[in-house]
Structure 1
């Protein structure tokens, strides 16, 4: 050191700043995870929008095409011209009086099916009046994913409307048109009306399991002809929740795990069975609705079944 110079201490190092360079990887990772969660949430939301609303839109378009195609075939085949449901029982646009309902009642045992079906094509309409006057879906033949996109589909190895045995139909509960979204709200004796090219078939939901013991068919007018089933049909009730593999529900005698001519020969009821996923937004189980045929009508100009007016 030179004489006369004053030695100065070195300045202290600056304090270490927290959150600096060494913390940056942690912050980047956290930020990346947050952005990933946001992206996943947006993708999930878009998927829900597509699955619930967009597929419903496309399903409605497919249903409209199926319905229009069937109506054209009916018209080309000389089917009776039936007015739309809002025309009422009083007749069509010309003001002609419709025949009384009693005059149109037919014995389903005497009927002969006059139509053939093709996979993917409509052959009947389903009305459930308690769902509203505008509830009307055309039923197609078949239950593949394509068949059920927008449409209820007939299990093609089950019977047809009005026949002895089990007329079984599947449908989506959510998305793709969701024709069976409200099946869980059905009550015993609610009407399930099937229209074919020549006839109307009125089925009624069977009593629920908890109603069977004290069942009184006279309690409500619409319950005429609806009673708890017995014998081989013991346990077949209005609504059941079952495993998806329980195919016996759609056999000629539900719960009896047998098919073919012998099973059909053992049947003495004319049933309708509607199947859909349960609970909503899940296919973990199946909801089953069973109904029994209570009345059949022949078609005629201006005539509509009075049961169509049983709106909820």
Structure 2
């Protein structure tokens, strides 16, 4: 802001021969630049507050609504549906299809996974790539999510360690995925984490999947990471030969979309829900850190 200059003594103003005030053009320019920088800084600060905090609040409300709708759909059961217990993932863009839990992030980490990955959908929560596999099925169930702002469901997925559980709940089942070994763990897996009973079924994948590891960084244009065999654009295995994978994708590094952070996990267990025990949950949900 500009200041009013007085001609009286002690005011700090310059006094000319005739007693009138004069302006130092250099000081005026410097003051103007300073004011512009302060204003720009405030604008940037407000934008960051909006992106990181305000959008989180807005997304949390939308996520609660999506979860409530999904719960209502699951509760509206028919005798035929209960008898056949078949899942329905053929939902419109933006509707919930499943729930995701990552116990290592705490008992309160839970998000409804939506159908699709449009910007509008990802403002509500993590979204399933439409061309990817389905929860618990052979293939690659791929899910995208924001890392900063808009609920930031994948803010900390870089902290996931090999063997960490990713639990997916559907209407009739619980599917337990575990993060695959990271690249520097593959060679020593059998004598290190591979000896941990919790990691059963989570070792390095062989054959066509030998290049798939727990975490990688790729370019935003690399869509091969969500293929049935990640990274293999030349390969489409028969359904009976596909491994049941889950892939999480998000921007990298934080506050940037220059690259993509990828986490690959393999399904190790399926727990069918018992209609006589509606509150029963798989033991993996208790693996909180």
Distance 2:234 2:239 in 1: 11
Q: Deviations over 1:36-76 (max 9, x none)?
A: 01101111111110010000000101100110111111111
Q: Deviations over 1:109-167 (max 9, x none)?
A: xx954443221000100000010000000000000000000300000111101111100
> Partner of 1:127 in structure 2?
101
Contact 2:55 2:150 in 1 (8 A): yes
Q: Per-residue deviation at 1:268? A: 2.1
The aligned runs of 1:80-119 (5 Å cut-off) are: 113-119=87-93
1:307 to 266, 280, 284: 284
Distance 2:104 2:185 in 1: 20
1:226 to 202, 205, 208: 202
Contact 1:253 1:267 in 2 (8 A): no
Distance 1:266 1:281 in 2: 41
Structure 1 residues 267 and 245 mapped into 2: Cα distance closer, same or farther (>3 Å)?
farther
> Partner of 2:181 in structure 1?
207
Q: Per-residue deviation at 1:187? A: 0.4
The aligned runs of 1:165-180 (5 Å cut-off) are: 165-180=139-154
> Partner of 1:68 in structure 2?
68
Residue 290 in 1 paired to residue 267 in 2?
Answer: no
Q: SS of the counterpart of 1:179?
A: coil
> Partner of 1:186 in structure 2?
160
Distance 2:220 2:88 in 1: 33
Say which one has the larger Rg: 1
Distance 1:150 1:119 in 2: 12
2:123 to 149, 166, 178: 149
Q: SS of the counterpart of 1:52?
A: helix
> Partner of 1:102 in structure 2?
none
Distance 1:43 1:114 in 2: 46
> Partner of 2:226 in structure 1?
250
Worse-superposed segment, 213-222 or 279-288: 213-222
Aligned residues: CA RMSD: 2.2
Distance 2:127 2:168 in 1: 13
Q: Deviations over 1:267-295 (max 9, x none)?
A: 52100000001111111111100000000
Contact 2:194 2:203 in 1 (8 A): no
Q: Per-residue deviation at 1:264? A: 5.5
Q: SS of the counterpart of 1:120?
A: coil
Distance 1:272 1:135 in 2: 18
Structure 1, unmatched stretches of 5+, are 1-13, 80-110
Q: Per-residue deviation at 1:222? A: 1.2
Q: SS of the counterpart of 1:204?
A: strand
Relative to the length of structure 1, the TM-score reads 0.80
Relative to the length of structure 2, the TM-score reads 0.86
Distance 1:226 1:270 in 2: 12
Structure with larger RCO (C-alpha < 8 A, sep 6+):
1
> Partner of 1:37 in structure 2?
37
Contact 1:165 1:264 in 2 (8 A): no
Q: SS of the counterpart of 1:124?
A: strand
Distance 2:205 2:105 in 1: 26
